Amino acid sequence: MEPEPVQLARSTPVRRIAGGLVAATLLGIAGNAHAGKDLDAVKARGQVVCGVTTGGISGFMSVDSQGKWVGLDVDICRAVSAAIFGDSEKVKFVPVTAIQRFTALQSGEVDMLSNNTTWTLQRDTALGFDFTGVTYYDGQGFMVSKKLGVKSAKELNGATVCVAPGSTTELNLADYFRANKMSFKPVVIEKVDEIRAAFFSGRCDVYTTDRSGLYATRVANAPNPDDYVILPEIISKEPLGPVVRHGDNQFGDIVRWTQYAMIEAEEYGITSKNVDDMLKSENPTIKRILGVTPGMGKALGVDEKWVYNIVKQVGNYGETFERNVGSGSPLKIERGLNKLWTQGGLQYAPPIR
Amino acid sequence: MYKYSLAAAAGVAAILASGSAMAGKDLDAIKARGSLICGVGTGTAGFMLADSQGKWVGLDVDVCRAVAAAIFGDAEKVKYTPLTAQQRFTALQSGEVDILSNNTTATLTRDTALGLDFTAITYYDGQGFMVNKKLGVKSAKELNGATVCVAPGTTTELNLADYFRAQKMSFKPVVIEKVEEIRAAFFSGRCDVYTTDASGLYSTRAANVPPPAKPEDFIILPEIISKEPLAPAVRHGDQQFADIVRWTQYAMLEAEEYGISSKTVDDMLKSDNPTIKRILGVTPGMGKALGVDEKWVYNIVKQVGNYGESFERNVGMGSPLKIERGLNKLWTQGGLQYAEPIR
């Protein structure tokens, strides 16, 4: 979900006013950025304000039939709320478009973004943000009809490939085939719905875009989702993660270690179902993670039961992945790169100690 | 409907400018001084050690040299301050050093209460196992019933017990306090296995095998059973400097991923690949965003090398340690080293 490079914002009148304040505020704190200022505001307000994507992205953030925001990205905000307030419901979700999102964060309209934003150099530096971690390693992949009998992208020599024009997607595609000494015939189509129609009608053997998009298209647009497979190869880097603005390292740390806590909980087998039993564990690492041995909460500036509250109310990383985008969801995304490091994936939390 | 707003544009432009102005206090001091002050350890072969000419070399040292290359265009503009494990955090907090690059494990307590930021992981370390080749063992999963040399009362001992329990295997611990005595016990054959952090096993194998035995007589098994992610640390308060350190590390990884090495970097300036053009500053933008010269990655790679070159030269196959890349392979090769994209 990466339509927008860094650019000057287009803005609503409301946001224009906010934009004026932003600059003044940021320049004002130039000399002495101190920890805790954003956290203090969150606490005084009694809510974390979480920027999500307007219109939603199924599995990552969307409004369910009861009007409740659900999804992998949404769960990060809920977990941060559980760490700070002991209650994962103290979140206000504010939908922002791809164009608005960075201004909304800079202006303080939202405390954090958790909306499938790719971590890049420009956003991490010139925009004055910090990415706290990677919630989902996304990247470009390939979808094919099962009938082709193909198990790997390396078997796609000579294939006809549907792709959007003028994008990094098109360049990555050409690079990948060249590197693997294979040829392909591009079918370049501008509009997303027309690409999908061309692929599902059989005009192309292959459809390529970011894998999360392939999974979403398969469930929402395929005449029969089971007839299509997403191949295992990932040929580009789209690391998606939450974002906070510079100026409050303590709040940044809470978001960062909340993510790590969800990963660490999975690694140590702590789930929403067994977390009460785990309070009785003799394992010193588990005792420290769950606050039975105190210290971690104090260091972070939250309650010692912060991880207990996160896991009890939201779940560990694996639980939220499977529920929202994995095997327990319509998307059925494989863990792949998002497996724990102990299982062959990239998800690795530095130790909670 | 969105209407282009000049006011908002001015606001964002001001923020962009302040993005570098609001931080920069440590960076300004470094520039005024003309050198980076890098806190290292008192000496760990392969990671940081003064060589026979008194020049600091090693994987951790190369991170400081690369940061100097990014800021000054010259990897030599670094002063090294050796610090003990007890001194290191105070030295960083007090401003005596600009950065620690000395095999410090990133942990929650250090990242939060100490007021530090870890930038990115230079080396995924963790507890491993060394055995005599004669045992014919290829994996820790074949160690059922083994006698294991280990230091007492440490997480090392706990991890050992946890690992064997999880694998439904038994072991006989030989618990010895002093490191030299553990090594002697292992090399004399009193234990089948020696366990400690893998980097320590490789150092011991390179430095302590008593003749006539040779380092090649011992192997380090592939399993890593705990997490010791080693990373540079900076203090809170200057996010621009932290960004420069973080993206310097990512640049070394990204260079390796795109096949840019100290030997090929001049040819790579002519590449048509838009990613490589952007990384090397042929297409400008990245240097400006970071607040350094557009040739920052060129200077890093030309003078210090990419991550793989630094790894192999200092701790890998080009070094006495002969550490396998293992978890420190690129993500495209099955490891954990992954750089966020330079764009």
Q: What is the ipTM, given to two decimal places?
A: 0.89
B313-337 pLDDT, tens digit each:
999 999 999 999 999 999 999 999 9
**pLDDT score of B154:** 72
pLDDT of residue A30: 32
How far the first Cα of chain A sits from its last, in Å, is 35
- How much is the pTM? 0.88
**Residue A4 in this model has a pLDDT that exceeds 60:** no
A 288-347 → B contacts, CB under 8 A: 295-296, 298-301, 337, 341, 344, 346
Q: Chain B within 8 Å of A351 (Cβ-Cβ)?
A: yes
pLDDT for B155 equals 77
Q: Residue A76: pLDDT above 80?
A: yes
Task: Give one DSSP letter per residue of B27-84, joined into a string.
Answer: HHHHHHHTSEEEEE-S-BTTTBEE-TTS-EESHHHHHHHHHHHHHHS-TT-EEEEE--
What are the E-state strand segments in chain B? 36-40, 49-50, 56-57, 78-82, 99-100, 116-118, 123-125, 127-132, 146-150, 171-175, 193-197, 218-220, 228-230, 233-235
CA distance B330 to chain A (A): 11
d(C-alpha A351, C-alpha A346), whole Å: 15
A13-137+240-343 under CATH 3.40.190.10, yes or no: yes
- State the pLDDT at residue A322: 98
B343/A125 Cβ within 8 A: no
**Which domains occur in chain B, in start order?**
6-124+230-327 (3.40.190.10), 127-226 (3.40.190.10)
Range B225-244 average pLDDT = 95
Catalogue the long-range contacts made by A189-193 (C-beta closer than 8 Å, 24 or more residues apart).
A189/A162, A189/A163, A189/A164, A189/A165, A190/A164, A190/A165, A192/A164
pLDDT at A35: 60
Give mean pLDDT, residues A6-20.
37
pLDDT over 70 (residue A216): yes
| pLDDT (mean) for B189-216 | 93
The two tokens of residue B66 are: 């690369």
pLDDT at position A22 is: 38
For residue B106, the tally of other CB atoms under 10 A from its CB is: 22
Give the pLDDT mean for A162-181.
87
Which comes out higher in pLDDT, residue A32 or B153? B153
A128·B162 Cβ contact <8 A: no
Rounded to whole angstroms, how far apart are CA atoms B270 and B264?
11
Task: Identify the CA nearest to B13 among candidates A128, A38, A217, A236.
Answer: A128
Decide if pLDDT at B69 tops 60.
yes
Question: pLDDT over 90 for what percent of chain B?
Answer: 82
Q: Does the structure show a pLDDT above 80 at A25?
A: no
Beta strand pairing call for A243-245 and A129-131: antiparallel
**Treating both helix axes as pointing N-terminal to C-terminal, what angle do B6-21 and A13-28 enclose, rounded to 10 degrees?**
20
Chain A positions in Cβ-Cβ contact with residue B117 (cut-off 8 Å): 249
Lowest-pLDDT choice from A16-30, B37-51, B279-293:
A16-30
Q: Tell me what the pLDDT averaged over chain B comes to.
A: 91
* Overall average pLDDT of the A9-17 stretch: 36
- Asked which of A11-15, A300-304, B273-277 is least confident by mean pLDDT, the reply is A11-15
A352 touches A264 (CB < 8 A): yes
Q: Could you give the percent of chain B with pLDDT greater than 70? A: 93
The answer to whether the Cβ–Cβ distance between B112 and A353 falls below 8 Å is no
- Only one residue has tokens 């400690």, namely B196
Q: Label residue B5 by pLDDT band (50, 70, 90).
A: very low
Question: Residue B4: its pLDDT value, please?
Answer: 41
Residue A167, chain B, CB below 8 Å: the answer is no
Fold match between A13-137+240-343 and A140-236? yes
pLDDT in tens, B89-100: 999 999 999 999
Domain boundaries, chain A: 13-137+240-343, 140-236
Reported as a single tens digit per residue, the pLDDT across B117-135 is 999 999 999 999 999 999 9
Under the banding of pLDDT at 50, 70 and 90, the label for residue A185 is very high
Alpha helices in A187-283, H assignment, sequence order: 192-200, 211-221, 249-267, 275-278
Q: Is domain A140-236 annotated with CATH 3.40.190.10?
A: yes
- Residue B23: the pLDDT is 58
Q: How large is the C-alpha radius of gyration of chain A?
A: 21
Residue A54, chain B, CB below 8 Å: the answer is no
